[in-house]
C-alpha cells in the first residue's frame, strides 16, 4: 500500500499552561478530502498551521509523503514547501494589497518554477481559466475583488505549484451561500483533475458532509471519532 500523503501522529500543543489539543492522530490519502470538524477555539486552525509549518507543536510527528517535517533541515523543508499549501479563512488578507490580481497569481510561479516571462504569463492565464477567473478580474487590485473572486485567485496560486496537499481553513465561512457552493465545487474539480488532497477545516458540518470522504471530530482537545462518508467526491 502506498504511503498516505499526510500522517499526523500524537500531535500536542500547549500555549503556556493551557493545553489546546493532545494526542491528535490521523492520516490523509492521495486524492482524499479529509474534514476536521470542531467548535470555535477547539484548535482546528492551530492543527492546520502546524501541518504547513506555521506553528511548532509541542509534541508529535507530521509526516508529509513519509518524511517528518518537524525533524528536517531548513533546505529540505524549503524544497517540500510548494507541495504543502494553505487557504486561509479571511480572503481579504490572503493577497498582497499592492499587487494586481494577476501579479499576485503568478508570484509563486516566479519564485518556484523557473519559467521565463512569456511561459510564465501563459501559465498564469491557463490557471486563471482553470479557476474561472475573467480577464477583468485579473487587472484589479484585491480591494476591488469580492471574497469569492479572491478565493479563486488563491486557488489558482496554490494550483500553480502542483501541491500534493492543501490545508483549507474555513475557506468559505466568509462567503455567501451561492459563492460557497461555487468555490467548494471548484475545489472538487481541481481535485479530480490533479489528484490533490485536502484537509478541510470547518465548523459547518453540513458543508463537510457534502464534500468530504471522511470527517474527524475534534472535541475537548482531541479527536473523538472519524466518520466515513460514503458519497465522497463528485456527488
Q: Where do contacts with another protein occur on this chain (CB under 8 A)?
A: 39-41, 132, 134, 136, 146-148, 173-182, 184-185, 203-207, 209-211
Smallest separation (angstroms) from another protein to the CB of 29:
22
Smallest separation (angstroms) from another protein to the CB of 76:
37
Between 39 and 67, CB nearer to another protein: 39
CA atoms within 13 A on the CB side of 9: 11
Smallest separation (angstroms) from another protein to the CB of 4:
26
Between 62 and 212, CB nearer to another protein: 212
Between 63 and 145, CB nearer to another protein: 145
Smallest separation (angstroms) from another protein to the CB of 197:
20
Q: Please classify residue 104 by burial: count the beta carbons closer than 10 Å to its beta carbon, then call 0-12 exposed, 13-18 middle and 19+ buried.
A: buried
Between 71 and 231, CB nearer to another protein: 231
Please name the residue that has the C-alpha cell 490521523: 26
Cβ-based neighbours of 209, under 8 Å, separated by 6 or more: 215, 229
Question: Which residues on adjacent β-strands are paired with residue 35?
Answer: 200, 215
Spatial separation of the C-alpha atoms in residues 158 and 167, rounded to whole Å: 11
Spatial separation of the C-alpha atoms in residues 28 and 158, rounded to whole Å: 19
Smallest separation (angstroms) from another protein to the CB of 205:
7
Distance between alpha carbon 107 and the CA centroid of its chain, in Å?
18
Between 81 and 203, CB nearer to another protein: 203
Amino acid at each position: 500500500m502506498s504511503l498516505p500523503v499526510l500522517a499526523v501522529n500524537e500531535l500536542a500543543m500547549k500555549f503556556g499552561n493551557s493545553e489546546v489539543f493532545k494526542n491528535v492522530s490521523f492520516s490523509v490519502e492521495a486524492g482524499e478530502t479529509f474534514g476536521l470538524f470542531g467548535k470555535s477555539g477547539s484548535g482546528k486552525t492551530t492543527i492546520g498551521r502546524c501541518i504547513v509549518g506555521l506553528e511548532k507543536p509541542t509534541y508529535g510527528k507530521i509526516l508529509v509523503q513519509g518524511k517528518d517535517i518537524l525533524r528536517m533541515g531548513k533546505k529540505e523543508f524549503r524544497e517540500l514547501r510548494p507541495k504543502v499549501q494553505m487557504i486561509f479563512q479571511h480572503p481579504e488578507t490572503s493577497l498582497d494589497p499592492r499587487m494586481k490580481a494577476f501579479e499576485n497569481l503568478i508570484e509563486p510561479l516566479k519564485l518556484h518554477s523557473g519559467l521565463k516571462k512569456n511561459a510564465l504569463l501563459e501559465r498564469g492565464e491557463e490557471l486563471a481559466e482553470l479557476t474561472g477567473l475573467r480577464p477583468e478580474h485579473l487587472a484589479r487590485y484585491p480591494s476591488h475583488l469580492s471574497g469569492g473572486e479572491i478565493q479563486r485567485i488563491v486557488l489558482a496560486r496554490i494550483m500553480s505549484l502542483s501541491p500534493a496537499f492543501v490545508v483549507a481553513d474555513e475557506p468559505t465561512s466568509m462567503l455567501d451561500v451561492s459563492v460557497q457552493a461555487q468555490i467548494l465545487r471548484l475545489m472538487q474539480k481541481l481535485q479530480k483533475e490533479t489528484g490533490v488532497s485536502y484537509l478541510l477545516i470547518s465548523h459547518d458540518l453540513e458543508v463537510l458532509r457534502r464534500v468530504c470522504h471522511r470527517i474527524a471530530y475534534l472535541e475537548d482537545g482531541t479527536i473523538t471519532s472519524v466518520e466515513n462518508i460514503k458519497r465522497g467526491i463528485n456527488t
